[in-house]
Structure 1
Amino acid sequence: MSLAAAPPAGAGTRPAPLAGLVVTRAVHRTFGTGVTALGQDADRRFFPSHTGHAGVVLREDLLDTAVGNTFEDMGAALLAELGEQPETDLVILAYSTPDLLPTVLTAPTLAERLPGRPLLLAVADQGPTAPFSTLVLARSYARRYGFRRVLVLAFDQHVMPYDVPRSGPRGLAGDGAVALVLEASDDNCRVRQACGLSPQEVPGRLAALIRELDPEGTADVVAGPGIDPAWELPVAPRPVRRTPEGYPCTSVLGALAERLPAAGGAASLLVEYDPVLGDLSACRVDPVAAA
């Protein structure tokens, strides 16, 4: 989804390219049982039509009983935790599961809480690869258009009126959300991705990506559920941090938010593999320089 804001004054002059983006703030929350009911009028029309097209069976009993957390409610909670924000140029949503209320336009409703008129984008249908692709997109837009501030919001929610996997790489355990604030500066966030890999090909490619992004072997490695613990990784003696299953879009970013690299500390190296699509992703986030 993309909503273009009015071009700024002097838009005919292309802004000077930026060196990159730095992750300056990050917050993560998991959510208990929500309070929003599933069976609203628009959704009673939406779900029967779309579950039929998708070949899944609608559980009409859940339309009357299910409650959960919407992307809007979770996003609003994160924005409240971040506090008052300066003008934001770009907001990108990332999610691997549908919103509880798919008829609600989450990005515009959250953007109303921010100063300025940010461009709005969303990344979906990429499973656990979505947050990595979102960071690539953020950097690309910032460099091309001179954006100074980007807000990334990632969501997982598990209440749906049809059967969904509860295990495996796309399994769902609950609701969670992550917010990352990225600001223009020298790069402290680099992403590498490889597509179409079988599980047998991944250990070698992953080792090569780790050596490229962390040649000195000093980074704090965070591995998503798709990274087999049996794979040998060229990492420092410290143990690899493993993130929980059941949160395909927020698990790895959540671990980053809970231990954002501090000035003078070690970098974080995030790695994840999606066997459904064959996507391998790695991201290095360096500490922000001390002010």
Structure 2
Amino acid sequence: MIRIDELMFSYGGRCVYDGLSTYFETGAVYGLLGKNGAGKTTLLRLIAGLTECSGGKIDIDGEIPSKRRPELLDRLYFVPETFSAPDIPVIDYATNIGMFYSGYDADAFDRYLKEFEVDPHQRFRRLSFGQRKKAIIAFALSLNTSLLLLDEPGNGLDIPSKLTLRRMLSEYSGPGRTVILSTHQVRDVEDIVDHIAVIDRGRLLLNMSTEDIGRRIMFMTSDCAIHGALFSERVTGGFVNILRKSMDDDGEPTRKSRKIDMEILFNACVNGNGNFGKEVEYAL
């Protein structure tokens, strides 16, 4: 488990985090959602130990990531949004770096590259941004680390590649593995995440499993905004409303709900009354 306690971080005179406390459970796939500049990349770098916090603490199963102990580094990998690669073939990069990870699987790397349609013998710097991104994601998955951090993994990928990535991540996830992927493109992750964390201007607005969200609130389409809704947003053809879920005497919902709309949920968190996350938490 990743525990974050009273995290403080500033750079260039700008306070990014001022007392952030939360946790990420083992065995879950988290969608870390936020606008551009919300602090998503900074948080991932802090968790990866690439940046040191100015106050507070990050603990990963008893390890402090900023200490960069080999035992922890063997179990985590961070895929940045942009990647500066050496001028060597993709396969050589994987062979040279993979030797430092006990879980590296060369056969899996080759399989992932084929699924992404990336030539393993092509030099990194001759690949397009999207091809380079797919190569480093394939490498990350082949390491079989227990903690995988991906910053905007869908950026630069075409639609077929995004579908392939979703399938790969779904297959990769499971007990003992935690995946945290940041994005501002909410639709890219809604089919694969089972936990949602929303941050905005350094504040955590929501951190909850999709199962718990589904137990607490419901999404309804209507011609007009529903009175008493936690949040309503105009869409094509009417409104999508977020309501507290109510049950009848048999424990069945009194109204039929559409599936969780992650984009509407995100908008409710960052554009609502500022207390939406708390209202969801206490909806039961």
TM above 0.5, yes or no, is no
Q: Computing the radius of gyration over CA atoms, which structure comes out larger, 1 or 2?
A: 2
- Relative to the length of structure 2, the TM-score reads 0.25
Identify the structure with the greater helix proportion. Answer: 2
The structure with higher relative contact order (CA 8 Å, sep 6+) is: 1
